[in-house]
Amino acid sequence: MKTILNALGFLVPVVILPVLVVSQLIAMNSRSRESIKRNTDSTTLHIIKDSLSCKGDSTKGKTVLYIGDSHTSYMYGWQDQLSKLTGMVTTTLAKGGMRTDWMLRNSRHMFAKKFDYCVIWGGANDAASMYSLDSSISNIQRMIDLGRKNGTKMIVLTGFDPKVVKITESNRGQWGFYPPRYVTLQSKMKKELRGALVVQNWYVSRQDGDCGDFICHMSASGHRKMAVGIYNEVFK
């Protein structure tokens, strides 16, 4: 069961991905559970604030709200696969190119309903622009507070390792500042956010073909690794 809402809060048809991408995503099977072990050593994958752990929760039939940007907007993407692994019922608020201020503005009315869980992956577009990173943290914290008021367990993903962004001489002028700003934002998330499980989701590898472009919109294998990584670290 799945609903996707646009910026005005109305239900909209889901755009179908190219057949090749969809078929890749569907075709990924349990062997990906093993391949992810290569990227899950204790130095790159860890959960901050263990007291908020969701490990061992009975998730079948529970509701989850995903909030994000393009990384969370793909049909059969990591969020759909995570819900399949956990048995949760999915609602997604995500749109390409959006910053955390859009996420806060458009999620306010949704938090009037109680979700069992909310997973936020935001900040990439904040870091890739000159948007204030302090404002990014404030926006995410306000979403955390809105969810907690209704008893929702809040989970924040820092985003993938900024090193997977491929900066070259041809794109350095436009994108060179992005990885270091993303490093700073992720550090602030881990140090400053309160009331949420903050997860450093560095699960994808450019060397393994998990990135579909230079800023790492994920390929089929990347989405699968992201889903399995979060499942293993947060819920299993």
Residue 9: inside a domain:
no
Residue 100: inside a domain:
yes
User: For the domain that residue 117 is a member of, what is the CATH number?
Assistant: 3.40.50.1110
Residues 6+ apart with CB under 8 A from 179: 162, 163, 165, 167
| Greatest alpha-carbon span in the chain | 49
Q: What is the mean pLDDT of the chain?
A: 84
Q: How many domains does the chain have?
A: 1
pTM of model > 0.95: no
Rounded to the nearest 10 degrees, what angle do helices 178-192 and 133-149 cross at?
Answer: 40
Task: State the first-to-last Cα distance of the chain, in angstroms, to the nearest integer.
Answer: 22
The domain in which residue 170 lies consists of 46-235
Residue 78: inside a domain:
yes
Q: Give pLDDT tens digits for 91-146.
A: 999 999 999 999 999 999 999 999 999 999 999 999 999 999 999 999 999 999 99
Q: Give pLDDT tens digits for 23-81.
A: 454 444 444 444 444 444 333 334 444 447 788 789 999 999 999 999 999 999 999 99
